[in-house]
Amino acid sequence: MRNRSDLTLATLFAGMFVMGSTELLVVGVLDLMAADLRVSIQAAGALVTAYALGLALGGPVLTALTIRLDRRVVLAAALALFAVTTLVAVMTSSNALMLVARTVTGTLQGVYIAAAFAVGGAVVPAARAGRAMAVVISGTTVSGALGVPLGTLAGQTLGWRGSFVAAVVLAVIALVATIALVPSVPSAGSGVGSQLRHAFAPPVLAVLALTVLAFASVYAALTYIVPFLATVTGVSGGVVSVFLLAYGVATAVGSFGGGRFADANAGRALVVGTAGLAVSLLALQLFGAIALVAGAAVLASGLFAMGMAPSMQYRVVSLAGPGGSFAQSLPASAANVGIALGSFAGGVAVGAVDVAAAVTTGLVIAVISIPVAAACSRLRPPVRQTTEVSL
């Protein structure tokens, strides 16, 4: 029934929201954590890297190890262990143990993402698969727009440990909802070897490469957007928060709306998305000194970037065919690789030239991604990989 599937998708959204908020929460309370753990800001920043590596590398590994388990069981176990490892982070005063806990927590988010996409696609008709994926993705994007600012405020009020305790409570609530509302979704069959063979087929790797490029282009510029706004646009202080909020809202809107484009024509959506991203960064490059244009460009970049995300997920899973269960975990890993590479490339450009060069770097990568998206749009899946669960 439609109502039951909507409740399932809402539960998956909630789980993604909690995990996404917890992932980025460190950014908002980094100074508080550094002081409490008695380490430098740079050392505390490694907690962000550890989480990302856990998600990008550990997520697919854990997904492969749990490939034969019921997806509902995987979701529940991931949330339960997520709450436990986050509680470990709350209770420890050791930065080394904190690093381990954050890495494991990131790995658990990686396997949760894969299972959530599998369940989301299984509880709706094939025609709504893209929109179901968009709901799941939106949990993460909304966490960036809303969960992180609220978590940061909680951290400033309750201390960083208090904000993490709140994350544990929310994870437990999401766990209870999962047990109560998410139906059983059996594993889609084949063993790990067969899954890997299909999941790493050349067409799948092509879309994953596009995912890396798209996120690298965004984060080459976005990582240094605050100093760009200060030096080029002449915007600083509280006004910067308005720009960042606009970007966060745009990513949430893009991820929600992108599901319909994925259902209509995912390949075409990727071409339009990469072209739109390139135009947005070009406008920021050429007219970044005009605050209104800069704000519109930042907003548009978030809209196009996250508007592509459901189509990326949809294309990877469909092109993987029988390897779709494992392939569910790969776009998130590719996106994190792109974020890391984009931030690095932007930093190199800033160091070699100036802060505006970060936007130039993002623009160049975005332009390169357009023909890649066009090539990917012509790829065809080996089989139709959609399973529907009766509710």
Structure confidence by residue, pLDDT tens digits, 258-294? 888 888 898 999 999 999 999 999 999 999 999 999 9
Q: Is there a shared CATH topology between the 2-187 domain and the 194-377 domain?
A: yes
SS3 assignment, position 200? coil
Tokens for 162? 């208090």
364 CB burial (10 A radius; 0-12, 13-18, 19+): middle
Which residue is listed with tokens 């029934």? 1
Which of 356, 22, 380, 84 minimizes the C-alpha distance to 206? 380
- What is the pLDDT, as a whole number, of residue 170? 94
pLDDT band for 119, please (50, 70, 90 cuts). Answer: very high
The mean pLDDT value for 88-110 works out to: 93
Answer yes or no: is pLDDT of 298 > 50: yes
Give the Cβ contact number of residue 40 at 10 Å: 10
Count of Cβ atoms closer than 10 Å to residue 237 Cβ: 7
SS3 of 288, please? Answer: coil
Diameter over CA atoms, the chain? 58
Burial code (b: 16+ CB inside 10 Å, e: under 16) for 210-234 equals: bbbbbbbbbbbbbbbbbebbeebbe
Predicted confidence at residue 148, as pLDDT, reads 62
Secondary structure element (H or E) that encloses residue 144, with its range: none
Find out if CATH 1.10.260.40 is the number for domain 2-187. Answer: no
Top pLDDT among 144 and 82 is at 82
Tokens read off for 155: 């951290």
* DSSP state letter for 145: I
- Taking all residues of the chain, what is their mean pLDDT, rounded to a whole number? 87
Domain ranges of the chain: 2-187, 194-377
Q: Are the CB atoms for 254 and 141 separated by under 8 Å?
A: yes
Q: For residue 91, what are its two tokens? A: 């209770």
Confidence of residue 213 (pLDDT cuts 50, 70, 90): very high
The better pLDDT of the pair 17, 226 is held by 17
Between residues 48 and 70, the one the model is more confident about:
70
Q: What is the pLDDT of residue 2?
A: 65
Question: Alpha-carbon Rg of the chain, whole angstroms?
Answer: 20
Lowest mean pLDDT among 132-141, 248-257, 336-345, 377-386: 377-386
Closest CA to 35 of 161, 132, 125, 128: 161
- pLDDT value of residue 292: 93
386 or 333: which leads in pLDDT: 333
Reported as a pLDDT band with limits 50, 70 and 90, residue 224 is confident
Cα–Cα dist 391/387, whole Å = 13
Task: Taking residues 41-57, report their average pLDDT.
Answer: 81
- The tokens describing 196, both together, are 């890997």
Tell me the residue ranges of DSSP E strands in the chain.
none
Q: Give the Cα separation of 353 and 334 in Å (integer).
A: 28
Mean of pLDDT values over 361-365: 96
CA distance 336 to 38: 28
Q: What is the pLDDT of residues 140-166, one digit of tens each?
A: 888 877 766 677 677 778 888 998 999
DSSP letters spanning 112-172: HHHHHHHHHHHSS-GGGHHHHHHHHHHHHHHIIIIIHHHHHHHHHHH-HHHHHHHHHHHHH
CATH class of 194-377: mainly alpha
Mean pLDDT of 62-73: 90
